[in-house]
A and B are shown apart, each in its own frame.
Chain A
Amino acid sequence: MFEVLELNAGYEFRNRFVHAVRNVSFKVEQDDFFGIAGESGCGKTTLMLASLGLLKKPGKVISGRVLVEGLNLLALSNDELKKVRWKKVSLVTQSSMNSLNPVMKVKDQMADVLIRNHGFSKSDAYELVKEKLKLVGITPDRMESYPHQLSGGMRQRVVIAMALLLSPRVIFMDEPTTALDVVVQRSILQQIEELKKKEHFSIVFITHDISLLFELATKIAIMYAGEFVEVGEATLVYSRPLHPYTKGLIEALPSISKDLEKYKSIPGRPPDLTLKIEGCPFRERCSFAFERCRVEKPELRFVNGRWVACHLY
């Protein structure tokens, strides 16, 4: 349904290239909740923008394809893109004041895409806006509000309602709740799950908080230094992680039962993304590393029901 194939992307930066997405492939199927987790700066947002053809200069897609119902999104003309965007795939950005245009009324910034690109009349457009807002629990009288008149949680619900406007098959969400307090975060995540059941869309959910994914996701991908290092069913990856990085992330999770002293964070820092990485990108932080990890780059292989890139298996 939505497939990314061997995508390479990054940023041109002072005569160097920040290779932030390295040969990433994944496939999102009907009803998937596909989670992507990784440390800050590992390339999650770049992956999303590149997959949607939204990466702007100095960003650049070097190679790869993105298939949406058979069409390669990265090869479409502007006119063709107009028809695909928002209708087939939409997105929710990080929650904060700036996901909504501060000088436009809620109803107008939701309706503009309907009126300008999809042939809605004004009244039909507002009717649909009202309907979708109701879906996320926002009363119609809020349509006339400006973003600053809404609370952070409400704003994020508006953005979600906006993503739902044309009932797309896939919705990307880039850390949609990070900027909100825990209680609001909970209620929005719950709402996303309910909506997903009701409206039957798939979600690609990006976060640095891996614990969220174990609760919500059906499939997860662990991203490290621009690459996917482990991809599989969420329950499987959580209960029996294979990649040392995944193990490290799970061990670093705070839990009520564990003592503070037993927390283990992963030592070291990820490699510089402007460099060509020899061997395994994780080897310097890995306690299992051996000679082969230095010379040969591990490829993703299917091991014990999931894909993992590690020489241990």
Chain B
Amino acid sequence: MKVLKYVVNRLFFFAITLFFALTLNFVIPRFMPGDPAERILMRFGPNIDEQAIEAMRIALGLDKEKGLLRQYFEYLKNTFSGNFGISYLHYPVPVKQVLASSLPWTLGLVGTSTVISFILGTLLGVYAGWHRDRRAGSGILIFSLCLRSIAYFWLAMLFLYVFGYRLGWFPLSNAYSTKETLHGFRFVLSVIYHAVLPSMTLIVASLGNWILTMRNNMISVLAEDYITLAEAKGLGEGYIMLHYAARNAILPSITAFGISLGFVVSGALLTEIVYSYPGVGYQLYRAVLSQDFPLIQAIFFFVSLSVLLANLIMDFLYAFLDPRVRG
């Protein structure tokens, strides 16, 4: 019964926050300076007449005739039917299409990297915390401190230069081979091949933090009486490490992992720029520069949605892992 109450409670909270996020997403771009219609037309030359601008406004759904409330309801309706309007920047390509060509790449690259980094970092952190007095533990600690101090942008460039340019092991740009048209399995291989360097960069950039967080959690859990009792019982080292120490130490990391997962959708701007990877980060960057409201709005919508969804999932995972939350 308590579990059900918890689930309903979380779902309710999710719905409310999503509603607020949606509303903010509607309001904020409308208070930004500049006229998007003018901006688009400006690309076609310096002399634009008033009528053309007005026509463009109507096409963009920004005409003054419609009240704000009507605009708002239209916005809600469009958002839920996946109709995000037309991108100013890529005019006349619909936002939907722009996202369809970048979102999957970002989800694949950044999502996979985040998950790998979390799992690897957490495992190393468990080990480093458990063996903190031994050489292996100190080794991992030093390794993670080094990782943390590396500038991530610089690392991306270095990888690109060494493994891509100098050694030629990996491609320099793009998400898949553009030289030939590949299908099925060979296409997947090509995608993985192109993702190696950027995902290595992303993993290296976040791994150190996961290791350190987990190591710290482990060390504070190891001071608890139940660990001493487990040792006094003569239980095996591996069993205590996993079932008594790590099982408790991972709880604080779960929330942080949820947040990272939520922000996957916003892409990884620097990596995408360095590796010319067709992801959302780069699209968002360009959209902001050219005030492409529909695109910005759509990306923000997906970011809010995924942050909230990731949180919801982590709340459920947390409740599954920690009986105290269930009540």
Contacts and interface: CB of A to CB of B under 8 A. Distances in A.
Nearest to B222: A56
Interface residues of B, number: 22
Nearest to B226: A101
Contact of B248 (A54, A86, A101, A159): A101
Given A98-B226, A146-B324, A85 B234 contact: yes
Interface string B233-245: 1111001000110
Contacts of A104: 243-244, 247
Interface in A87-106: 90-91, 93-94, 96, 98-104
A173 to B, nearest CB: 12
Q: Tell me the interface secondary structure of chain B in the complex.
A: helix
B115 to A, nearest CB: 23
Most B CB contacts (10 A, CB to CB) among A83, A98, A116 go to A98
A272 B54 CA distance: 85
A94 B236 CA distance: 23
Contacts of B133: 57-58
B33 interface: no
Interface string A86-130: 100011011010111111100001001100110000000000000
Contacts of A93: 225, 228-229
B234 A117 contact: yes
Contact of B225 (A58, A83, A99, A148): A99
Given A57-B133, A82-B234, A103-B247, A98 B225 contact: yes
B108 to A, nearest CB: 33
Contacts of B239: 112, 116
A148 B231 CA distance: 22
A100 B324 CA distance: 13
Interface string B201-231: 0000000000000000000000011101111
Contacts of A162: 229
A82 B234 CA distance: 5
A293 interface: no
A109 B243 CA distance: 10
Interface string A126-137: 000000000000
Interface in A55-87: 57-58, 81-86
B122 to A, nearest CB: 16
Nearest to A148: B324
Contacts of A117: 233-235
A103 B232 contact: no
Given A57-B133, A93-B229, A99-B225, A81 B234 contact: yes
29 contacts: A54-B228, A54-B231, A54-B232, A81-B234, A83-B234, A85-B232, A85-B233, A86-B234, A93-B225, A93-B228, A93-B229, A94-B225, A99-B226, A101-B243, A101-B244, A101-B248, A102-B226, A102-B324, A103-B247, A103-B321, A104-B243, A112-B233, A113-B235, A116-B236, A117-B233, A146-B324, A148-B323, A148-B324, A162-B229
- Sort A-B residue pairs by CB-CB distance and give the 8 closest, nearest first: A85-B234, A146-B323, A93-B225, A113-B233, A57-B133, A99-B225, A82-B234, A98-B224
Given A101-B226, A112-B233, A148-B323, 20 more contacts: A52-B232, A54-B231, A84-B234, A85-B232, A85-B233, A85-B234, A86-B232, A93-B225, A94-B225, A100-B226, A101-B230, A101-B243, A101-B247, A102-B324, A103-B322, A103-B323, A109-B226, A113-B234, A117-B235, A146-B324
